[in-house]
Chains A and B, each alone.
Chain A
Amino acid sequence: MILAAIQPAVAEPGLFVQLIVIFLAAAFTENILLARFLGMCSFLAISRQMKTSLGLGFAVVFVTTFTAAINWLLHTYVMVPLHIEFLELIVFIVVIAAFVQLVEMVIERFSPSLYFSLGIFLPLITVNCAILGVSLFMLNKEDFGFLHSLVFGFGSGIGWLVAIVLMAGIREQIKEDKIPAGLRGSGITLIITGIIALAFVAFSGMIK
């Protein structure tokens, strides 16, 4: 009886449940960094300190959320009707680059303290392949609407933030440890990333 009551909800979840599932999937089981290994360059370079990792992480959340939404609008209402989907890569890159510039200007103007704490990391986001990855993966989900894309972008950004903050915490802890000379820096960071990625594999299967 109870199973029968739950069954329809599982088969056809409401919008809110759908959005929660999309968020959890994007942030954990399909973590853009730990499951897809995208955005590794800035992840390795900036994950030395918690403060800077948080700054870059939040900037990535902001940019993935809005570029995913803008790119979904462009794709759905411009590129699909005009049958120019083959241009999606170039359009997405241009949108991301312009959006990062715009975000930089807005933050500089209205929140100088945030701008100066993020300052050098903001332009890095443009060349972060994770951002482009989010927009491209979004297209693989056929039944995604605007809200789904927005949440997918947000969840992916949160996933990236979680990954870099985890790594920064670990790197701060192992700073004083004796690590073999050849493994110091990127070497040990990549190994730890692999171990964290394995731990994240445990999440897969929880949400389909």
Chain B
Amino acid sequence: MMTFLIAVGSLVAICGILALLLVIADRYLNDYGICKLIINKGSREEDVEGGSTLLNSLNSAGVFIPSACGGQGSCGLCKLKVHSGAPPVLPTEEPHLSPEEVSEHVRLCCQLKVHEDMELEIPEELFNIREFEGTVESLTDLNHDIKRLRVALPEGEELDIIPGQYVQIETPAYKKTPEPVYRAYSIATDPHDKTHIDLVIRLVPGGICTTFVFEHMEPGQPIKLNGPYGDFRLTDTEKEMIFIAGGSGMAPFLSMLAHMRNENIQRKVTYFFGARAKRDLICLDEMKAFEEALPNFKFVPCLSEPMPDDNWDGDTGLVTDVMKQHCPDLSNMEAYLCGSPGMCDASVVALTGNGMPEENIFFDKFS
């Protein structure tokens, strides 16, 4: 009994001393005081508490920088020019920075810690990004694993979006995550509707955010989001367009097609939607309505593995193969892609194979 008490007491004492040592070290060593962020040659200055990452410091100062991975250093979206106050490029940044970017002082702000005053260059449009606390208005099943989430913005607030942009929604702490995390989703809203944000969300097995949306979210619940971000958008040319996206990749095209209908844009556009079977198709009625409203728009769903009872008489095969059959000459066309890196890369190969210049291909890769 005595040995047991001595063992427990000693262990507690050793752990306590070590913990105390760490607390004292943290108190004195991690205290970097107030640091100044000098933004765009002094046009804006923010005082932030040192020791945190630049991404979090800017967020706390109300400047929202896009970061689809929530600061993990994997998406490479939170790039900013940092002119002073930063250490040399870190190993975690290297995979995301080209030699030109390194020479122009571009850095990943989720990887940098604020230890001293910093001089930054932030694109002006990022200052338009705001954070809202909206309300879940509805959650609608689009098929067996995709839902449309409709969020109402707070009373009196409006959000101007450019079709193709995305927002980040916050998943609060729950059993799958000890702290809130942000995930990015393309906006599917008609840009005329400035008081709502529609998102198309596919369930990712084990995904933190999608599991929350599918299993824990209910209408009436508050939801935090910030945005809009991104430069995926329609060009001003008159070129014929091809859209390629399956599943939840349809989101930005819903917004773009609504914009074309609102503005009476008559550019020719064909949307190739790839799915495995009929059960994976979504928004068929909306696509039909767009075809009626836009005489130059054609929706081409194609199934790679149709089930026997699908009675499918449309196109079959991979979406890239179907696109190649429909459009043998793409030399004077533009393409817009939205989906997984694999799908986007395969589409780029197919498009350039049929003569499309690479600079005419625009995409929104899921990260």
Interface residues of A (CB under 8 A from B): 52, 74, 78-79, 82-84, 86-87, 90-91, 94-95, 98, 101-102, 105-106, 108-109, 112-113, 115-117, 119-120
Contacts and interface: CB of A to CB of B under 8 A. Distances in A.
Interface of B: 3, 6-7, 10-11, 14-15, 18-19, 21-22, 25-26, 29-30, 87-88, 90-92, 113, 115
A95 B3 contact: no
B11 A87 contact: yes
Contact of A119 (B3, B6, B29, B92): B92
5 contacts: A87-B10, A95-B18, A98-B18, A117-B91, A119-B90
A113 B7 contact: no
Contact of A120 (B19, B22, B30, B92): B92
Contacts of A112: 87, 115
A52 B115 CA distance: 23
A84 B7 contact: yes
B91 A74 contact: no
4 tightest A-B contacts by CB?
A98-B18, A116-B87, A105-B29, A109-B29
B90 A74 contact: no
Given A84-B3, A116-B87, A98 B29 contact: no
A179 B29 CA distance: 48
A98 to B, nearest CB: 4
A82 B8 CA distance: 12
A94 B14 contact: yes
Contacts of A98: 18-19, 21-22
Nearest to B4: A84
Nearest to A105: B29
Contacts of A82: 6-7, 10
Contacts of B88: 113, 116-117
A91 B25 contact: no
Nearest to A83: B3
Given A87-B10, A98-B21, A102-B21, 5 more contacts: A91-B14, A102-B25, A106-B29, A108-B30, A117-B88
A115 B11 CA distance: 31
Contacts of B25: 101-102, 105-106
